[in-house]
Chains A and B, each alone.
Chain A
Amino acid sequence: GAGVSQSPSNKVTEKGKDVELRCDPISGHTALYWYRQSLGQGLEFLIYFQGNSAPDKSGLPSDRFSAERTGGSVSTLTIQRTQQEDSAVYLCASSLDLLFMGDTQYFGPGTRLTVL
C-alpha cells in the first residue's frame, strides 16, 4: 500500500518568504508527526496530531511555525518569514495510534528546505 508522502521534495526559498510543506499520511493512521533535521543535528520533534485531540505543539521552535491537519488526514506545516536557520530536512511520519503505547511509526521521504 501507499506509504507516507511529502511534497515538495525540495524547496528553495528566499529569506522572509512563507513556505508550506505538505504531508499525506498512511490511510487510517490517526497519529501524524512532524520532525526536522538540521545539518549535523539529530531528529528534532516539532508537532504531533492525534485524532481529533488538540495537537502537541511543544516542539515548534517559534511562532513562525504552525501546522494544521484537515479532516484527520493531510497535514500542512507552514513557516512564515523564513530564516536561514530554518534550512533543514522536514520529515513527516504517521502511526496507527500512539507511539508511546508501542505503535510503529512510518516516515515520509522528507522535504529539503533551503532558505537563501
Chain B
Amino acid sequence: ILNVEQSPQSLHVQEGDSTNFTCSFPSSNFYALHWYRWETAKSPEALFVMTLNGDEKKKGRISATLNTKEGYSYLYIKGSQPEDSATYLCAGGNDMRFGAGTRLTVKP
C-alpha cells in the first residue's frame, strides 16, 4: 500500500446501529496513525493518535484499534447518534498523508 486508503467511502446507518470503518496505510517506516472527525462547516478535530501495534483507544462511544504489522486501523462507533454524522479521516505514514475519508450519515 503506497497511500492511505479508507473504506467505505460513505456509510448510512440508523440511529442506534453500531458501525466500523477501515484505514489502511503503508506499514513500512510506521510512526503514527491519526484519526480525525470532520463535521460540515467545521475544522477537522483530532480523535485519536495511535503509535503502538495493538493499541486500542476509546473516547465515549468511539474506539479505534491499530495493527502496524499489516497496516490497518479500525474505527468503531457504538450506538450511532445523528450527531456522529461527519467525515472520519485517518492520516499516517511519515509524511502524514490523509485518506479520502469515510462520510458517515446517521439517520434518526
- Chain A 99-116 interface mask (CB, 8 Å, partner B; 1/0): 111111111111000000
**B38, chain A: closest CB distance, angstroms:** 8
B98 touches A35 (CB 8 A): yes
Nearest B residue to A93 via CB reads: B44
Please report which residues of chain A, range 67-116, place their CB below 8 angstroms from some CB of chain B when the two chains form the complex: 91, 93, 99-110
Number of interface residues of A (CB under 8 A): 25
Contact status of A102 and B31, CB under 8 A, knowing A42-B89, A110-B43: yes
A100 touches B49 (CB 8 A): no
Please report which residues of chain A, range 28-48, place their CB below 8 angstroms from some CB of chain B when the two chains form the complex: 33, 35, 41-45, 48
Please report which residues of chain A, range 1-58, place their CB below 8 angstroms from some CB of chain B when the two chains form the complex: 4, 33, 35, 41-45, 48, 56, 58
B95 touches A103 (CB 8 A): no
A75 to B96 Cα, complex, angstroms: 19
A100 to B43 Cα, complex, angstroms: 20
A106 touches B97 (CB 8 A): no
B44 touches A107 (CB 8 A): yes
Say whether B53 faces chain A, with CB atoms less than 8 Å apart: no
- Find B96's partner among A4, A33, A41 (CB 8 Å cutoff): A33
Say whether B106 faces chain A, with CB atoms less than 8 Å apart: no
A10 to B84 Cα, complex, angstroms: 27
**A33, chain B: closest CB distance, angstroms:** 7
Residues of A within 8 A of B (CB): 4, 33, 35, 41-45, 48, 56, 58, 91, 93, 99-110
Given contacts A42-B89, A45-B98, A99-B91, 12 further A-B contacts (CB under 8 A): A4-B43, A42-B99, A42-B100, A42-B101, A44-B98, A45-B95, A56-B95, A91-B43, A100-B32, A102-B49, A105-B96, A109-B42
